[in-house]
Chain A
Amino acid sequence: MDIRLPFREEDIKNLRAGDVLTLSGVLYTARDQAHARLVRSIEEGKELPIPLEGQTIYYTGPAPAKPGAVIGPAGPTTSYRMDPYTPILLKNGLKGMIGKGGRSREVQEAIKEYRAVYFAAVGGAAALIARSIKKAEVVAYPDLGPEAIRRLEVEKFPVIVINDIYGNDLYEEGQREYRKIDI
């Protein structure tokens, strides 16, 4: 299954934790410091440098592109660091997030409330993932270097649904199935 971005309500409704799919269209990269700035702008009532409505943020800070390449290796970074900023972005229209690792209870609740989806990409598979990125340009906070916000155009970007609008969590379910020890 391939979903064309930005998300429509029916795409979100159909996704379930454990679904393996690809995404095509526009993603915005943002990580720690970009999140802090976006949230500060929202709190101060200022205009954001990127649209949020229906959009997807990819938690990554790519390596520099070699000459002739669109982008350098660009795998996901760990998502929990963005947890403190996430509910307010979801409240403002963000629909998709791509990263790796579990989210806080608050974020999982906000995903249900604001009808969004959290996906994982394979951490460490950065050179492979970069192949699905067809265009990349810095659109905000260039002073942040690798942490600047980039607008990416992707084709068949591979992801797995971790948290859906029904409150499912693939990490919890998947790990429980294979656990053979109590601690």
Chain B
Amino acid sequence: MRKISSVEISEAIAGLVKEANYFLPEDVLKVIEKSAREEESAVGREILQQILLNNRIAGEERVAVCQDTGIVVVFAELGNEVFIEGDLYEAINAGVRKGYKEGYLRTSVVDHPLRRVNTGDNTPAVVHLKLVPGDKLRLIVAPKGAGSENMSIVKMLKPADGKEGIRKFVLQTVMEAGANPCPPIVVGIGLGGSFEKAALLAKEALLRPLDDSNPDPVIAEMEKSLLADINKLGIGPQGLGGSTTALAVKINTFPCHIASLPVAININCHVARHKEVII
């Protein structure tokens, strides 16, 4: 058994939340830069330039790219040969508390969905724990803003709806979201599993590098054609009209019941934050 202390975990999380909020990921920047050249609308091109300028300012001043520094979602892959000294969840929350305070990041979490009192330190984090072989702990931190999260949706389609039904559902969802999720967006789609598994698949899809594609050729083709169709919707940067509505579409799949076709769509804004570390 390899020991990992709570303190080590907290320190790692505190560092990750700051880095994730101060800098747009390289893969996202690359696609925005390309879009800023190719966008058909002049207003759209100007907005993409402002987004790039904003990222430079945030990096230089070490401040958050967006004031909505999100609720912290953590994917923890815990090796079965690791012994954690202390409480993993408490260690993660201690890291969030420290990182948000030190990093001048906004505390955006309320204690109860109806009472709604700000917890004051952005805790608790939403933690997804996976047990894997080995003696390492992988921590992926993905602070998620509400503008795009609020436009996300899970629907249980009929198996007969197939590819065309999925296509319609995705295009309708993106169309209705319009300017709200701060386009250009990244679209994460979970196909299959069960009701809750589909949602998790969609969120995991958002963690993939923007330039990869699904190893399954059928799904890879869907990712490509959905991206092309979404960019024909005309929503454009900030919803003011244009040809850059989405930067990428990522689909993750899982086997499902003979009677089900669960589809989850998790939308991310262009501030598609995620950072990871392996301890």
Contacts and interface: CB of A to CB of B under 8 A. Distances in A.
B41 to A, nearest CB: 6
B54 A127 contact: yes
A112 to B, nearest CB: 20
B182 A181 contact: no
B63 to A, nearest CB: 5
Interface of A: 20, 33, 60-66, 69, 72-75, 77-78, 80, 100-102, 120, 122-128, 130-131, 144-147, 160, 170-171, 173-181, 183
Given A177-B234, A183-B171, 13 more contacts: A62-B67, A75-B67, A78-B147, A78-B180, A102-B239, A122-B50, A123-B179, A126-B66, A127-B58, A145-B120, A174-B240, A175-B240, A178-B41
B147 A174 contact: no
A81 B235 CA distance: 20
Of A65, A127, A145, A146, most B-chain CB atoms within 10 Å: A127
B216 interface: no
Nearest to B55: A127
B238 A145 contact: no
A9 to B, nearest CB: 27
Interface stretch (B74-82, B90-98, B103-111): B103-111
Contact of B67 (A20, A33, A61, A171): A61
Contacts of B241: 173-178
Contact of B270 (A66, A124, A175): A124
A54 B168 CA distance: 44
B61 A102 contact: no
A122 to B, nearest CB: 5
B112 interface: no
Top 8 nearest A-B pairs by Cβ distance?
A: A174-B241, A179-B234, A178-B234, A123-B182, A101-B180, A181-B232, A128-B54, A180-B232
Contacts of A124: 51, 54, 65-66, 182, 269-271
Given A73-B58, A80-B180, A178-B234, A127 B65 contact: yes
B97 to A, nearest CB: 14
B57 interface: yes
A183 B175 contact: yes
A63 B234 contact: no
Given A77-B68, A120-B238, A126-B67, A72 B179 contact: no
B243 interface: yes
A175 B58 CA distance: 30
Chain B interface, DSSP helix/strand/loop, else mixed: loop
Interface of B: 40-41, 43, 47, 50-51, 53-54, 57-58, 61, 63-69, 104-108, 116, 118, 120, 146-147, 150, 168, 171-172, 175, 178-182, 229, 232-236, 238-243, 269-271
A124 B107 CA distance: 17
29 contacts: A61-B106, A63-B106, A64-B105, A64-B106, A65-B104, A69-B63, A72-B63, A72-B64, A72-B106, A73-B64, A73-B65, A75-B67, A77-B146, A78-B147, A78-B181, A100-B179, A100-B239, A101-B239, A102-B180, A127-B64, A127-B65, A131-B57, A146-B107, A160-B43, A174-B241, A175-B234, A179-B233, A181-B171, A183-B233
Contact of B66 (A75, A78, A173): A75
A127 B23 CA distance: 12
A173 B178 CA distance: 13
Contacts of A72: 63-64, 67, 104, 106
B107 A78 contact: no
Given A122-B47, A181-B229, A73 B53 contact: no
A77 B67 CA distance: 9
B179 A128 contact: no
Contacts of A100: 147, 179-180, 182, 238-239
